[in-house]
Chain A
Amino acid sequence: MDMFPFGIEKIYVDEKAQKDSVTQKVLSALSNIPAEIIQDKKSIIKKALSASNPLENGKRRLLITHFYGRMLKPCPGTSHHICCGYYVINTMTNCPMDCSYCVLQEYLDNPFLTLYSNWDDLFQEIKVFLAQKVFPLIRIGTGELSDSLALEPVFPISQVLIPFFAERGDSILELKTKSSNVGSILDLNHRERTVISWSLNPHRVIDEEEKGTASLKDRLNSAKRCQEKGYPLGFHFDPILYDEDWEQGYQETIHQLFKEIDPKRTIWVSLGGFRYPPKLKPIVEERFPETRIFLGELFPGRDSKFRYLREIRVEIYRKTVDWLKEIDPGLFVYLCMESKEVWERVFGWAPVNSRHLNFLFEERVRKFIK
């Protein structure tokens, strides 16, 4: 899999980030690409946003800079729905891949692939946060505003985070990816404190809607390699896209997955029907005129995001849970950003609130890791 499926034409280096060792690593790994030291990133971002095709062009430009706000935050979740009490670290924003349904197209106000090189600040922030002991066990992921492993060969943040979390007993790191870039993390001493997760979809959906990502086969091969190295694995069927072929597609994908992967080494599986904020649709329709993601029965919910009709979501989740439980009744399956009513209809029970769900995660982790 190509790390930059759309190529990189230029690197902008914020003068404040110029001397950081990670900046030097990135520049030396990409020494054939022209780099420019910049003083004013805001004006460059503004110019890129006003030019034509900012999203396409942004994926071909790297910006290395410092992040001055909080890099570790609670997952934004969504109102009126049950969230899982997850925390996110943003060391990168934007993604070299180009999934039609990606919410970042609407969410980010900086189109560049942006790498934050002030890692000392980040680790200091993580230490301070963990010392507060907000929950007995904190789950933290890096795959919120980018893909966790897509740029690992040039921006090796996971290779520093994994050993950091290996030393701790109060937290679990989750790396979510659609890539197959696991080579550099396989031999790290992780002590099962890092979960490597893949977002999965049927290969037809990957071909049509997930441009620049690794194939299903490559994702599963990489997962198998991580399993062999003792990493706990997670799988996210999210977004599930509902069409006339969905049952066959997802059922086959689940069988393919567990042909390669031991369900007993799978710490969790999440399910999430396709959902989107209203402003995303016109952007996607313009960038991906062939997309079929909006052709289902999608309606605005209590958080204003569009989702499939509730009875369709319930059908999707019930069937998928059945297929998963047929493989292994002990699989820990949860719903991402779903309402209490949907949880009840799918599982016959629902977490009382987000804190309760977080507690169930803690239990799962404690049972799972040695």
Chain B
Amino acid sequence: MNIQKIPLRQIDLYDETFSVNFHPDLKILRSSISELGLIQPVLLRGKGETYQIISGFRRIAVLNELGISDVPSRVFNKDEKDELQLFSIALHENITTRGLNSVEKAIALYKLIYMFKVKPSLVIQNYLPLLDLEPNEKILNTYLSLAQMEEVVKDYVLREEVSRSNIRRLSNILPEERMALIPFLSSLKLGENHLRKILMLLEEISKRDRLKIGEILFRPEIQSILSQNEMTPSQKTERVKKLLLNIRYPRFSQLEKTFEERKRDLNLPPNISLHHQPFFEGKGLRIEFNFETIKDYQEIITFLSQMTDINEFQEMIKGT
């Protein structure tokens, strides 16, 4: 196929049939084209008086920005290839040259099924491996759900590199709830685990109390944490998580609180710590201490032996 110079004004910039772009970062491409011109010609298809872009949306956008009027192109005739073949070519070219981010993969899979009518089983078998994804239905459904999410959610997924399991959790949430959720999540510092935990807590509180997620987020105690400018996002995250845990597990939180209060009343020296069984499940308590000298050790032993006379301590043991 020969390379032709096609006037940019003849290219339909609004036809995004074959595009999988999502908020592309054009900085590097712009500087490359400014310096060296277009190295790789774009792919177009003749469409009456105009041309349809098959591959090269980002390059053409930069050329347009830079005011370059002729675009080096390889041009397919109108009926030379069917739509699916052209989309496959576009996909291959993108994958081999720049790779696709997770939202772009989602868009590609969505278009294959809903625009180019490829059977889901064939998409799983042929296209998921092409996109470097495991060929199974769960993965396909995760990406299809991402493709249908709101722009701000897609932005968040890309920016925070949200994992597939968390994308699935986001997809279980109603669109208007998700929209309320994103500003909240963005104000915190959430890695993979924190995000999973926070989403799970919100989802379960919402289901249990039959509340919208927005209603939980707008509780004064959560808003008060979020509005504290002197706190770092990490500190806010810890506080919010603790608060959500208290709401989700009220009886466990009350047990913890009572235990901590009783422990405080014991006035333990800093080198002695007292612990209950995990989740208050088993009987008994556990004491840990550390020391550097024999004197430290003797003081600890004296203190521990005196603890047996303290009512609060006896109550704590009985309570286990």
Contact = CB atoms under 8 A, between A and B. Distances in A.
A297 B204 CA distance: 11
B191 to A, nearest CB: 20
Given A294-B204, A302-B281, A341-B282, A52 B251 contact: no
Nearest to B137: A52
B283 interface: yes
Contacts of B137: 52
Nearest to A300: B279
Interface in A340-360: 341
Contact of B280 (A294, A295, A311): A311
Contact of A309 (B204, B251, B283): B251
B251 A311 contact: yes
A292 B279 CA distance: 22
Interface residues of B, number: 16
A153 interface: no
Interface in B246-293: 249-252, 255, 278-283
A47 B207 CA distance: 36
User: For the side of the interface on A, what is the size category?
Assistant: 10 to 19
A339 B207 contact: no
B204 A295 contact: yes
B84 to A, nearest CB: 23
Question: Interface residues of B: mostly helix, strand, loop or mixed?
Answer: helix
A69 interface: no
Interface in A6-50: none
B280 A310 contact: yes
Contacts of A341: 282-283
A107 interface: no
B208 A295 contact: yes
Contacts of A129: none
A301 interface: yes
A182 interface: no
A297 B282 contact: no
A368 interface: no
B282 A292 contact: no
B279 A309 contact: yes
Given A52-B137, A297-B249, A297-B251, A309 B207 contact: no
Interface of B: 137, 172, 204, 207-208, 249-252, 255, 278-283
8 contacts: A289-B172, A292-B207, A294-B204, A295-B204, A299-B278, A299-B279, A309-B279, A309-B280
